[in-house]
């Protein structure tokens, strides 16, 4: 059985848990990171030299980097990867964009407003993060005016990282612009039971 090392309130771990649930693949979750600790030990470092979560253990095979884990699982189980190579590439592009652009933008206000004590918050950083988040969502909104999901006509792994960040974006107490195409796509995600179970669990 697959084993995931991580914590369920981690954005990167949520990606993997949500996909596994969607694919109905059994797994066990061992708690590591933040309050659970364990990820800075020598034993964990042998598995994941970054000392971050998640880490996937599949028999003798160990894998880290959450988006790589998504691609591995989707390929192994033959689910949630678009059959058309161009649709697959579109989803891959947005997977990478989530890492390089949207994560950095949304996580600034998330870190400051949710995980930082009020007296220690960097308000200038919050404002900058909000501006970058809205700019990024505007870019996504334009694209989602052309396709119902990030990877094309159907839900795929391309929707997973952005879907988790979208939940944070809409739950944070920040000023948001109007993004009708993103909102319609977000509503479709919110109707998915495993999105509700793994992602829509509050901010912490």
Per-residue pLDDT band at 159 (split at 50, 70, 90): very high
- Domain ranges for the chain: 2-77, 85-195
d(CA 177, CA 190): 20
* 2-77 and 85-195 share one fold: no
CATH fold of 85-195 reads: Glutathione S-transferase Yfyf (Class Pi); Chain A, domain 2 (1.20.1050)
> pTM for the complete prediction?
0.96
CATH superfamily of 2-77: Glutaredoxin (3.40.30.10)
Q: Tens of pLDDT along 66-111?
A: 999 999 999 999 999 988 999 899 999 999 999 999 999 999 999 9
Could you tell me the strand order of the sheet in which 61-64 lies? 27-31, 2-6, 55-58, 61-64
* Cβ-Cβ contacts under 8 Å for 95 (sequence gap 6 or more): 67, 70, 71, 157, 158, 161
d(CA 95, CA 56): 19
């Amino acid at each position: 059985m697959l084993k995931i090392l991580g914590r369920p309130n981690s954005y990167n771990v949520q990606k993997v848990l949500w996909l596994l649930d969607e694919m109905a693949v059994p797994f066990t979750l061992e708690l590591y990171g933040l309050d659970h600790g364990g990820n800075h030990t020598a034993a964990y470092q042998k598995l994941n030299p970054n000392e971050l979560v998640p880490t996937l253990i599949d028999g003798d095979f160990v894998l880290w980097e959450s988006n790589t884990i998504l691609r591995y699982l989707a390929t192994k189980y033959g689910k949630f990867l678009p059959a058309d190579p161009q649709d697959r590439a579109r989803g891959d592009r947005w997977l990478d964009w989530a890492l390089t652009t949207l994560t950095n933008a949304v996580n600034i206000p998330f870190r400051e407003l949710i995980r930082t004590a009020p007296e220690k918050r960097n308000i200038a950083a919050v404002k900058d993060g909000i501006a970058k988040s809205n700019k990024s969502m505007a870019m996504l909104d334009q694209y989602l005016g052309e396709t119902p999901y990030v990877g094309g006509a159907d839900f795929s792994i391309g929707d997973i990282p952005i879907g988790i960040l979208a939940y944070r974006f809409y739950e944070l107490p920040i000023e948001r612009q109007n993004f009708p195409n993103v909102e319609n796509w977000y509503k479709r995600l919110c109707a998915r039971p495993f999105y509700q179970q793994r992602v829509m669990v509050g901010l912490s």
